[in-house]
């Protein structure tokens, strides 16, 4: 069974992301959260058709119809920096608790096992390891911010 507080947290997480629908099954209970009014149409085409059109002078011209452009990537690494990305949707925390210092700051040197943040998802606190050696050059999100899967969180100048 789902607790009301868990359902509210899931609704808040879905509302703050680009996710339009979430379905979870737990111990025989099934929960589906769907954003209202969000309809997404996906067109799969091998190639855009070429449709001839004619001007007043009756000379054929080719008009290319293309599918809608894909969304741009959220943040591209600059100057060969390595991005540390979120492996899940959740809430980003820079420290283990409000009274503790941040795991990392700009200018800190890290190794591949360094804990750089905590991601909270469904009341579970998940420590995120850097998986790269180097120096933190930029922190791309704010403490307490909802983050999406694959969203860059830090930029690291690798060693």
Q: At residue 73, does pLDDT exceed 50?
A: no
Within 8 A by CB and 6+ apart from 28, the residues are none
Residue 113: is its pLDDT beyond 90? Answer: yes
Nearest partner of 138 among 121, 124, 148, 152, judged by Cα: 152
To which H or E segment does residue 5 belong?
helix 4-15
Return the higher-pLDDT residue of 4 and 117: 117
**pLDDT, tens only, 16-64:** 777 777 777 777 777 777 776 644 444 444 444 555 555 455 444 444 4
Looking at domain 82-158, its CATH class is: mainly beta
So what's the pLDDT on residue 153?
Answer: 97
Rg of the Cα atoms in the chain = 22
> How many other β-carbons are positioned within 10 Å of the β-carbon of residue 104?
22
- Would you kindly state where each structural domain of the chain is located, as residue ranges? 4-34, 82-158
pTM of the model: 0.53
């Amino acid at each position: 069974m789902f607790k009301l507080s868990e359902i509210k947290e899931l609704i808040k997480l879905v509302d703050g992301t680009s996710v339009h629908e979430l379905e979870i099954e737990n111990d025989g209970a099934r929960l589906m959260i769907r954003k209202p009014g969000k309809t997404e149409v996906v067109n799969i085409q091998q190639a855009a058709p070429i449709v001839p059109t004619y001007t007043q002078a009756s000379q054929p011209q080719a008009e290319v119809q293309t599918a809608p452009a894909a969304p741009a990537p959220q943040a591209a690494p600059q100057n060969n920096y390595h991005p540390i990305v979120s492996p899940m949707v959740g809430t980003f925390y820079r420290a283990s608790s409000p009274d503790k210092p941040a795991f990392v700051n700009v200018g800190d040197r890290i190794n591949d096992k360094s804990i750089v943040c905590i991601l909270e998802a469904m009341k579970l606190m998940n420590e995120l390891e850097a998986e790269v050696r180097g120096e933190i050059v930029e922190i791309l999100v704010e403490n307490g911010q909802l983050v999406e899967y694959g969203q860059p969180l830090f930029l690291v100048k690798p060693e």
